Structure 1
């Protein structure tokens, strides 16, 4: 799991990305955002 809020921001960029997805499926959103962030690195 994430250790700090800073680490979360570095991984996911913004809560705005995950918030809409969380309404559908938290697990799915985490995988989706992880995939998006990995491509952007």
Structure 2
């Protein structure tokens, strides 16, 4: 799903690249444990 979202955002916004970051686990600074991703366009 993350790949599909990243590809769609890249195409829609004309970005030249994409970075996907996983922010999860004890070192991520979350107050409620969960998995989430950041999709950063270039």
Same fold (TM over 0.5): no
- Which structure has the greater CA radius of gyration? 2
Q: Which has a greater percent of strand?
A: 2
Query: What TM-score results when the alignment is normalised by the length of structure 1?
Result: 0.28
Q: TM-score, normalised by structure 2?
A: 0.28
